Amino acid sequence: MTGLLQMSISQDLTQGSQAWSDAELVSAVQAYLHMLRLELSGDSYSKAEINRQLREGPLATRTKASVEFRMQNISAALYELKMPWITGYLPARNIGSAVKEKMIALLKTSGIDFLKAYVPTSHVEALDVKVAELRQRHMGKRPLGSIRPATETRSTTTYVRDPAVKAWVLQLASGVCEACDCKAPFLGQDGLPYLEVHHVMPLSSHGSDTPSNAVALCPNCHRRCHYAYDRDEFKLALYEKIPRLVLEVPEPIQSETDVFIEPDVS
């Protein structure tokens, strides 16, 4: 397999007799996607068998190695699209850009929507949507992930917070979650009981940064406020339980950056 990696695109073009027709490329792409689906869901298949079937059918004039290299072209195109590729077909590194563009164009018309959920994202909300979609499927193949994840910089809005409000609310709670009345689960790096301060009406919905809108919560209760199916009921219950809190009038969320990111931000 690694030997094929060294193969240059000029060798690929001269290999066999003539350039691949669109019909040939389409059959290779379709066979590839079929194998990739099986691999992603953890089902077994034989690359050699599918290679043989292709050469007994639509790719009758091609050699086994030529078909393999074409599969590596497809891996390279998928790699470019940041989509998963078949582990056994390492992306051909020296594939020419024209060939890559051609393979990408073919892939896009060959039903690769099922791969979109795998494309990495720096958007927290988009990530959750993708995760939810993938959790509906059987994730058979252990993902490669990324040794050194890329970064993306974009402007974010951060609220200026009053340290006295946070300190006062934490001191008042004195190590006990104001929602579930459980003790803080551990001591923080400052040696004090670890609780998180949550704004019941989010700052992004124009909630105030005041003690009447801030509660000290254990991490579980804090997450519940943001992620639970019953988060609205849970938050309403906080207003009833904690007399200090005053219900504020919500306004629409201004931007996606305002949504929960840091546990103690909102």
- The three-class DSSP label of residue 235 is helix
Q: Which of residues 235-254 bind Zn ion (CB under 5 A)?
A: none
218 binds Zn ion (CB under 5 A): yes
DSSP codes of every residue in 114-133: GGGGGS--S-HHHHHHHHHH
224 binds Zn ion (CB under 5 A): no
Candidates 47-55, 84-92, 167-175, 211-219: pick the segment binding Zn ion (CB under 5 A).
211-219
73 binds Zn ion (CB under 5 A): no
177 binds Zn ion (CB under 5 A): yes
For residue 190, the minimal CB distance to Zn ion (Å) is 20
Q: How far apart are CA 190 and CA 53, in angstroms?
A: 65
Nearer to Zn ion, 77 or 218 (CB): 218
Instruction: Write the DSSP symbol of residue 7.
Output: -
State the Cα torsion 185-228-223-231 to the nearest 10°.
Answer: -100
Nearer to Zn ion, 77 or 215 (CB): 215
Is 84 in contact with 112 (CB distance < 8 Å)? no
Is 223 in contact with 266 (CB distance < 8 Å)? no
Q: Which of 173, 179, 200, 203 binds Zn ion (CB under 5 A)?
A: 179
Nearer to Zn ion, 168 or 234 (CB): 234
Q: Which of 165, 198, 201, 258 binds Zn ion (CB under 5 A)?
A: 198
State the Cα torsion 170-176-178-182 to the nearest 10°.
Answer: 150
For residue 251, the minimal CB distance to Zn ion (Å) is 17
266 binds Zn ion (CB under 5 A): yes
For residue 196, report the phi and psi dihedrals to the nearest 5 degrees: -115, 140
Q: Provide the binding-site residues for Zn ion, judged by CB under 5 A.
A: 177, 179-180, 198, 218, 221, 266
